[in-house]
Amino acid sequence: MAAASLAVLLGAVEARAQPPEDDPQAAFTQEEIAALLSETPSPASADLVARFRGLIFERNIRFIPGQDARLQQAVVAIAGGTTEVGWLAAELLVRLGVGALRVTELGQDEAEDARVAGARRRGSIPELVAYLRELNPTLRIEVHDATPRDVPAFVKGASLVIDALHVGAPRSQLPLHQAARAARVPIIEGRTLGDGARIVRYEPDGPSRDQVMGPYARDADPMTLIARAAAGPMPDQWGHYLATGPRRAAMAQAALKPSAPTAEAGLAALLADAALARIVGLPGLPPAPKLTFLDLTEARFHTGTALRPELWMNPAALTYAPAESWAPLEGKIAGVIGLGAIGGRVSVLLAETAAALAPDRSWGLRLVDGDKYDWPNIQRQLGATTSTIGRPKVEVLAELLKARGPRGLDVDARRVMLDAQNLGSLLEGVSVVVPALDVFAEGERARLCEEAGTRGLPFVDYGPFGRGAAGGVFPPEGERWSTLTGNAPEEGMSDVERLLRHSLMLSGGLGLHLGYMGKEPIRSQIDIENGRAPSLASSIVLAAALTAHRALQLLTNRPVPSHLSQLDPSVGGRTRIYPPRSNSALDRWALLRLAMARFKPKR
C-alpha cells in the first residue's frame, strides 16, 4: 500500500528538481514524502510529521489548547466503512486531523442479501485505505474482519465508534452496540432516511440502545428490525407504533429506498462533527434517548425522542417524489462559480444525486475556476489529495464528475477567473447559480449576485459558520443582494466590511456560532484583513449538502422554503423568514459595528 501511494506521489513531483518558488510542489521534497510514507519512521520524521500536519490542518478550528494532540492520538472505529456515509465520514475525520482509524465492512453481506436498493457504496476497503492515505500519508489505519466475531477486538481501545452501517443490516448492529457498551466506548449511530438523516449518541453511562429502542429480539423478522433501526429511539408509544404497528411495513419500505446523496453527505458531516466534539470535549448533539434529525427538505434540525413521519415523508422530498417529477431537470444548467471548498463538493453532490435519483435526465453543469490545488486545500476541498497538488481544479473535478455523474450530464469546465468582463458570458444559459467564491472575494461575489438578480436567476448561498452552516435561496423576485447585505458592487467599502455584512445577513445578526467564534483561542485565528480564517471540513460539507439540495429543488421546480437557516451541531438550529431586514436598518448597523469591533483587523 505504502509503495503504491509513494509511486503516485513521486510521479506528481518528478522532473521538478528545482521547482519555481511559487510551485506548490515545493512544500515537500521526494525524500520527505518517502519518509512520511515509511512504515518504520525515523527519529527525524517526527518533525516532518509535525510540519505536514501544521501545513495541512492549519485552518482547522482550534477550540481548546492541545486539540491537535488529542485528535492525533484518537482512534476512531468506523463500522460500515464502505457505505457512502461511512466512506465520507472517514474522509472527513482524516481532513479534520484524526490520527488513527479502524475500518470494517461489517454488515455488507447482510445488506446485500436484503437487496437494499439504497445501500450505495463507493468502493472496497483497500480502495478506501488507499484514498485516505492520499489525504494524509501519516494516517495510522487498521482493517478488521467483517464478522460479528471480530467486533470486540474492533471496539477495544477505540476512543469512540461510529455506526455507519446501512439500515438494511440490522442484525450486525446488535453485536456492535453490545461490544461498545461492554468496552465502555461511546458510539455514534447515523442513518439516512429519504431527504433527511438522524443521528444518536450513546454514552457508556447513559441508556443503552436496547433500552431506548425497545426489545430487540434476535428472532424478530427483518422488516421489523429495519423499521426499528430507521425509527431510532422509541421511548413513547408513537415510536413503538411506527416500528411494530400497522406503519411498520411502510416505515421499513421507506427506509430501504435510495437516500439522496445530499442526505448522506449531511449525515457524514454530523457524524464527523460529533466525533470531533466527543474527542476534544466540546458541546455537541444531545445523547440518547434524544435524537437529532437533519431535514434537508426544510433545511432544519429537529431534536426529540421519536422520529415522526411528517419529517421524512415530505411530499416535496427528492427521494419520495415520482420519477416524472424530475422532468423539469431536462436541459437545465447549474452554474457553480468557484470550485474551492463549497463549489467542488456541491458540483459532485449535484451529479451524484441526479445519478442516484434521475439517471436518465440530460442536463448540464458549468464549472468555473482558474486556480490549482495547493497543500492546505487537502484539509477542506474535495479533489485535493497529495497526488493532485498543482493540478487545475476544473480538470480534477471534471474527472470526478465523469466517474460519478449520470449518463446524460454535460460538464462545461471553464478554467478562468471570474471578472467583470467575462461575468455575462459565464452566466449565459444558466438556470441556477451557486456563488461558491472564496469567502474573502466579497467584491466579486457582490457583482456575481447582482448580475444573477438582473438576469432573473435564482442563486443558492450557504457557507460554513464555525461548526455549522448558514444561508438560503435567493429568488429573483426577492430583494436584491445589494439591499439585503448593503454590498453594492460599485461602493468603495473594504472587503472586511463586505464580508461581515454578508455573514450577518446569512446568519441573522451575530449568529449562533459567535458564542464561541468570538472568544479565544479561536478569535486570534481570524485575520480577515489578510484573508485567513479557520474552517472545518465537516461544516463545509454540511453547507455543501444544503446548497446542492436547494439547487436541485430549484432545478426541478419543487417548492423551496422561504427562510434562511443556520444549523450548528453545538447549539441547534434556527430559521428566519425570508426576506430579512437589510443592513440599512439601525439595529443591523449596530450589529455590524459590534462585529467589526470584535473582529478588528490585525496590524
Q: What is the pLDDT of residues 273-288, one digit of tens each?
A: 999 999 999 999 999 9
Give the pLDDT mean for 554-575.
87
Share of the chain above pLDDT 70, in %: 83
Question: What pLDDT sits at residue 104?
Answer: 92
Share of the chain above pLDDT 90, in %: 42
Residue 564's beta-bridge partner residues?
A: 576
Question: What pLDDT sits at residue 238?
Answer: 56
Residue 16 pLDDT > 50: no
On whether residue 324 sits in a domain, the answer given is no
On whether residue 603 sits in a domain, the answer given is no
On whether residue 423 sits in a domain, the answer given is yes
Task: Report residue 247 as a C-alpha cell.
Answer: 406503519
Give the pLDDT mean for 18-35.
60
Task: Report residue 570 as a C-alpha cell.
Answer: 453545538
Q: What is the pLDDT of residues 344-401, one digit of tens each?
A: 999 999 999 999 999 999 999 999 999 999 999 999 999 999 889 999 999 999 999 9
Question: What pLDDT sits at residue 41?
Answer: 59
pTM exceeding the 0.85 threshold for the entire prediction: yes
Distance CA 330, CA 309 (A): 31
Question: What pLDDT sits at residue 65?
Answer: 80
Question: What pLDDT sits at residue 230?
Answer: 73
CA distances in angstroms from 542 to 233, 264, 367, 437, listed in the order given:
24, 10, 20, 17
Do 71 and 50 lie in one domain? The reply is no
Q: What is the pLDDT of residues 242-296, one digit of tens each?
A: 666 677 777 777 778 888 999 999 999 999 999 999 999 999 999 998 889 999 9
CATH code assigned at 83: 3.40.50.720
On whether residue 325 sits in a domain, the answer given is no
CA distances in angstroms from 448 to 12, 312, 338, 536, listed in the order given:
35, 35, 11, 25
On whether residue 318 sits in a domain, the answer given is no
Do 130 and 264 lie in one domain? The reply is yes
- Inter-residue contact 60 to 380 (CB < 8 Å): no
Give the pLDDT mean for 200-212.
90
Do 171 and 214 lie in one domain? The reply is yes
Do 18 and 106 lie in one domain? The reply is no
Do 261 and 379 lie in one domain? The reply is no
pLDDT band at 579 (very low <50, low <70, confident <90, very high): low
Do 546 and 481 lie in one domain? The reply is yes
Structure-model confidence comparison of residues 97 and 46, the more confident one = 97
Domain boundary among 312, 347, 373: 312
Give the structural domain span for 7.
2-56
On whether residue 555 sits in a domain, the answer given is yes
Give the pLDDT mean for 88-117.
83
What angle (nearest 5°) sits at the alpha carbon of residue 432, between those of residues 431 and 437? 135
On whether residue 520 sits in a domain, the answer given is yes
- Inter-residue contact 356 to 410 (CB < 8 Å): no
Do 255 and 366 lie in one domain? The reply is no
On whether residue 390 sits in a domain, the answer given is yes
Residue 12 pLDDT > 50: no
Number of domains the chain is built from: 3
Do 34 and 154 lie in one domain? The reply is no
Distance CA 424, CA 452 (A): 9
How does the average pLDDT of the chain come out, rounded? 83
Do 221 and 349 lie in one domain? The reply is no
Question: What pLDDT sits at residue 603?
Answer: 42
Residue 19 pLDDT > 50: no
Do 472 and 556 lie in one domain? The reply is yes
pLDDT band at 13 (very low <50, low <70, confident <90, very high): very low
Do 89 and 147 lie in one domain? The reply is yes
Do 453 and 594 lie in one domain? The reply is yes
